[in-house]
Amino acid sequence: MENNELNQEELTKKVEELQQEIESLKIDKADLEIVLETITEHSTNLENEIYGKNEILMKYLKQVEKITRAAAAIEQGTFEIESLNEVAARDDQLGQLARVFQNMVKQIKEREEKLKQQVEELKIEIDKTKKDKQVAEILETDNFKNLKRKLNRLKNKQNKD
C-alpha cells in the first residue's frame, strides 16, 4: 500500500505542478494577448500614419508635376502664369519655386515685349533709311537729272513769257 500511497503523493505533486504550469501558461497567454492587441493597435496607427504621409507625398508629387508641365508649356509658348497659383500658395520650398518660376516668366514676357517693340522701331528706321537711299539713288540717275534740267528750262521759259 505504501507504493500506492507514494504513487498517490507523487501524482498529487505532479497534479499541483501541472496546475501551477497551467496558471503560468494562462498568465503568459494573457500577456501575449495584450502584446498582440498592442501590436495590432500600433500597426493600425502606423498604417494610418503611412497612409496620411502617402497622401501628402502624392499631393506634393502632383504639384511637382504641375511645375514640370509649366516648364514644357513655356517651351511651347502656351504657359499661363495662373496655372501655378495653387502651388505658389504653398509655404514650403515647392511654393517658393513656383513663385520664382512665375516671376521669371513675367520678366521674360516683359523682355520679349520690349524686344519686339525695339525690333519694330528698328524696322521702321531701316525702312526710312532704305527709302532715303532709294530717293538719293533716283536723284543721282541720269534720267532724273535730265528731267530736272528739262523742268528748269520749262520754268525759265514760262517765266520769260
Q: What is the pLDDT of residue 119?
A: 94
- Determine the Cα–Cα distance for residues 148 and 141; give it in Å rounded to an integer: 11
Do the domain assignments include residue 9? yes
- Domain membership of residue 25 (yes or no) is yes
- Tell me whether residue 154 is in a domain: no
**Residue range of the domain that includes 34:** 2-115
Q: Determine, yes or no, domain membership for 89.
A: yes
C-alpha to C-alpha distance for 148 and 138, rounded to whole angstroms? 12
Closest C-alpha to 65, from 50, 49, 86: 86
Count of structural domains within the chain: 1
Give 4's pLDDT tier (boundaries 50, 70, 90): low
Examine residue 137 and state whether it is found in any structural domain, yes or no: no
Q: What DSSP assignment string belongs to 66-133?
A: HHHHHHHHHHHT---GGGGHHHHT-SSHHHHHHHHHHHHHHHHHHHHHHHHHHHHHHHHHHHHHHHHH
Q: How do residues 113-151 score in pLDDT, each as one tens digit?
A: 999 999 999 999 998 999 888 888 888 888 888 888 888
In this prediction, residue 16 has a pLDDT band, given cuts at 50, 70 and 90, of very high
With respect to residue 32, please indicate whether it lies within any of the assigned structural domains. yes
The residue whose grid cell reads 500511497 is: 5
* Structure confidence at residue 154 (pLDDT): 85
**Residue bearing cell 504621409:** 53
Q: Cα–Cα distance between 147 and 161 in angstroms, integer?
A: 21
Q: Is the predicted pLDDT of residue 34 greater than 70, yes or no?
A: yes
Q: Which cell numbers hold the place of 109?
A: 514676357
CA distance 134 to 48: 82
Q: Classify burial at 60, counting beta carbons within 10 Å of its beta carbon; exposed 0-12, middle 13-18, buried 19 or more.
A: middle
Residue 149 lies in a domain: no
In terms of Cα–Cα distance, which of 138, 62, 56 is closest to 98? 62
Residue 142 in domain: no
